[in-house]
């Protein structure tokens, strides 16, 4: 079926990049699409969703430059727009820095609020004010969805927020974490019932990393993610609230081991309790989204 010519509208060419975040080499970390719009307006939402679906990464960032140090970023999964994506933000500002467009401290406007970004070889982004949303008392369905029976953790299972609501779920050790057998349909059901984005499962380590983590978000079309900025910022706040780490300092989380894409996510709690998350990134590819005829 073809559209009549009068229903068609030309769209300008958009530059896109494929960037691996939370790693210093290609084919590691977590991949995001980044579409640079210059100072042009955002395309319509249906088109941005289609572009994200075509690129097929968990999130694609669409970036408008408002001034030399001010940007507006919107994030799309292959299914819908989301308020914030940590790894796509790190990918975006690492790319902009390499292109000479972002230096030092920048302001990033998002649906989750205005964030301060430290743009350099390592990008650190200010997260939304973190908080604990809820403590979960009935944990049976949560651990059952991970393939763990009759487990009583020494730390609480809580929904924590740092831009998105994620379930913080402790397991006993790294071996148990890597051996999980998650049931995606069950995880999707639980996250939907609790109005959360993901199961963020972690094991505290004594090997130079604050914790090893895995993140499952099948409700949003992401069975497992190799690096999650927002969820690890929430985990940093959770660990500080529960007395596992100091209330200030620098921390690091290893994620993606089970996927063969190890990622190192850096976090920091500032003296004013602001949480920052970030890391390095590698640019993998670039191209053009050609002028398209669409309604």
Q: Which of 59, 118, 224, 225 is catalytic?
A: 59
3-state secondary structure the chain: CCCCHHHCEECCCEEEEEEEECCCCCCCCEEEEEEECCCCCCCCHHHHHHHHHHHCCCCEEEEEEEECCEEEEEEECCCCEECCCHHHHHHHHHHHHHCCCCCEEEEEEECCEEEEEEECCCEEEECCCCEEEEECCCCHHHHHHCCCCCCCCCCCCEEEECCCEEEEEECCCHHHHHCCCCCHHHHHHHHHHHCCCEEEEEEECCCCCCEEEEEEEHHHCEEEECCCHHHHHHHHHHHHHCCCCCCCEEEEEEECHHHCCCEEEEEEECCCCCEEEEECEEEEEEEEECCCEEC
Catalytic-residue membership of 59? yes
Residues with catalytic roles: 59
């Amino acid at each position: 079926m073809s559209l009549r010519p009068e229903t068609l509208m030309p769209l300008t060419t958009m530059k896109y990049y494929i960037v691996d975040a939370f790693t210093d080499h290609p084919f590691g970390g977590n991949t995001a699409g980044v579409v640079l719009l210059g100072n042009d307006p955002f395309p319509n939402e249906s088109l941005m969703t289609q572009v994200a679906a075509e690129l097929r990464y968990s999130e694609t960032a669409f970036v408008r430059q408002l001034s030399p140090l001010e940007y507006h970023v919107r994030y799309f999964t292959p299914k819908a727009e989301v308020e914030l994506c940590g790894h796509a933000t790190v990918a975006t500002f690492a790319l902009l820095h390499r292109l000479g467009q972002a230096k030092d401290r920048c302001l990033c406007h998002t649906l989750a609020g205005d964030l301060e970004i430290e743009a350099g070889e390592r990008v650190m982004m200010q997260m939304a004010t973190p908080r604990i949303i809820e403590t979960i008392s009935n944990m049976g369905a949560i651990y059952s969805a991970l393939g763990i029976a009759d487990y009583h953790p020494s730390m609480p299972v809580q929904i924590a927020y740092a831009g998105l609501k994620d379930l913080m779920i402790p397991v006993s050790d790294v071996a148990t974490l890597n051996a999980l057998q998650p049931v995606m349909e069950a995880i999707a059901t639980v996250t939907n019932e609790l109005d959360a984005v993901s199961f963020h499962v972690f094991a505290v380590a004594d090997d130079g990393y604050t914790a090893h983590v895995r993140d499952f978000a099948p409700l949003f079309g992401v069975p497992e993610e190799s690096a999650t900025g927002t969820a690890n910022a929430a985990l940093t706040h959770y660990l500080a609230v529960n007395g596992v780490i100091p209330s200030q300092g620098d921390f690091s989380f290893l994620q993606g081991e089970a996927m063969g894409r190890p990622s190192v996510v850096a976090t920091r709690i500032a003296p004013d309790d602001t949480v920052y998350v970030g890391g390095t990134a590698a640019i993998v590819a670039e191209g053009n989204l050609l002028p398209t005829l669409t309604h």
